[in-house]
Amino acid sequence: MVHYAAIVMSSAAVFHPLNASARGALHDIPFVAFDTETTGLHASDRLVELAAVRFRGDVVEGEWSTLVDPGTAIPAEATLVHGIRSQDVAGSPPAAEALPGFLDFIQGAALVGHNAPFDIRVLAHELLRAGLPLPDNPVLDTCAIPRRLQLDVPNHRLATLAHRFGVPQGRGHRALADARVARGLLEAYLRDLGPAVESLVRLALTQDSVLLSFRGYASEQVAPSPLVALMRRARAELRSVVLACADDGAPARPRRVTPRDVYSLGGTVYVEADCPEDGSVRTFRMDRITAARLDQEKMGIMHLTQNRSWRPGAAGKC
């Protein structure tokens, strides 16, 4: 595994505004090409490999990769695609331990992926399972760009486009090799297809209406509920919420959080919140929150389940 110490900066500082010429500005922006390998073809399948290449212009600034223990056997049909077997990932970190390193690596960069919606949804599921926030990085899809330009190619597979643009290929369907190809494709598009690609990339990085993001790819319509309304009210009024939640039967304990976002993925609703207790940003499953109230509100605690109760001082997590 190769690690890179990324400079932490806000997305706004990186992407707004683009004052220089389009090409000059794009060459000043940090990008991270990334790819995943999984246990199957569904977004809810588990991660087995994750890799990324950080670059600026034509300079590679670092690479990062790791195998991931999915916590389940890797099906034979998946191994036929990427060659990764259950014994290969034995002793590798689970997603919850691997993903913080990936989040550090992509800080302040625009992401680049091929058929990016699939990878984004896989990562979103894994991040939420781990209680980690969805990052705000914009995402460029190297599969969508030639489609948008109606490029005359047999198909838009990674290998086909790499051959068309003369991008070197390693072993297909391994995360680091495919991330390197995705980086090469973006460079080739900008080099060979000219202002049309520059305009598409610039638009995607600066216009919210076409911004591709984890939330844009992963979020579903949130079903209304009293708890959703409470979290949205707290966010609108910039107020904290005192909540308790239980995980795997562990007793609940109260904690004070400040809601940032509410979203749904795979039919499960989550709230992302700042946690002043340890200075972190965490994601909580709504169906595991046993009680919640607006901070300093005199009304009684809103109990959300019949068979669970708030037990002050008890240890636990959610």
- Tell me the per-residue pLDDT of 48-96, one tens digit each, with 9 for 90 and over: 999 999 999 999 999 999 999 999 999 999 999 999 999 999 999 999 9
Q: Cβ neighbours of residue 312 under 8 Å, at least 6 residues apart?
A: 253, 254
d(CA 318, CA 243): 10
Which residue ranges form the domains of the chain, and what is each CATH number? 11-218 (3.30.420.10), 226-303 (2.30.30)
What is the CA 235 to chain-centroid distance, rounded?
A: 22
φ, ψ for residue 84, nearest 5 deg: -90, 125
Q: Which residue has the tokens 């550090």?
A: 104
d(CA 137, CA 8): 12
Q: Which residue has the tokens 């004052």?
A: 19
Q: Confirm if 284 and 271 have CB atoms less than 8 A apart.
A: yes
- DSSP H or E run through 189: helix 175-192
Spatial strand order in the sheet of 268-275: 280-285, 268-275, 253-265, 241-245, 289-294, 302-303
Task: State the CB neighbour count (10 A cutoff) for residue 311.
Answer: 16
- DSSP H or E run through 255: strand 253-265
pLDDT tens per residue, range 187-236? 999 999 989 898 888 887 776 444 567 877 666 788 899 999 999 999 98
Q: Confirm if 18 and 205 have CB atoms less than 8 A apart.
A: yes
pLDDT tens per residue, range 278-300? 888 888 999 999 999 998 754 34
From the number of C-beta atoms within 10 Å of its C-beta (0-12, 13-18, 19+), residue 19 rates as exposed
Collapsing DSSP states into helix, strand and coil, what is residue 225?
Answer: coil
Question: What's the chain's average pLDDT?
Answer: 82
pLDDT tens per residue, range 143-181? 989 988 999 999 999 999 999 999 998 777 899 999 999
